[in-house]
Amino acid sequence: MEEYNVEFVAKDTSITVSDTETILQACLKEGFPLEYSCRVGMCLACSARIIEGKVTQPAARGLTSGEASKYALTCMARPQSDLKLRLGEYPPSIENSC
């Protein structure tokens, strides 16, 4: 099991997330509030722009293949490196999911 630092740049907050848990799971465990709804990678409410780093999120069906490298769905995304994320930025496909 590897652990990574996940920094939320606009919030000036960081948490440690293992590669065996989602970013949302780690945030909830630490008491750091994140917006979310469906928890299955479809609604895009938990989207965050990836500023730096990599995630794996094979079940994030709400993202197009081009968006998956630029946005993390925190309910599905597991870190593969240290990350910098910007909360409140949503992929263009959110227009199609409403």
Q: What is the DSSP string of 14-81?
A: EEEEETTS-HHHHHHHHT-----SSSSSSS-TTEEEEEES-EE-TT-TTS-TTTTTTEEETTT-EESS
Per-residue pLDDT, 46: 93
Per-residue pLDDT, 70: 95
Per-residue pLDDT, 61: 83
Per-residue pLDDT, 10: 85
**Structural domain boundaries, residue 48:** 3-97
pTM over 0.85, yes/no: yes
CATH number at residue 16: 3.10.20.30
pLDDT in tens, the chain (98 residues): 999 999 999 888 999 999 999 999 999 999 998 999 988 888 899 999 999 999 999 888 888 888 989 999 999 999 999 999 999 888 887 765 54
Query: How many structural domains is the chain composed of?
Result: 1
Per-residue pLDDT, 65: 84
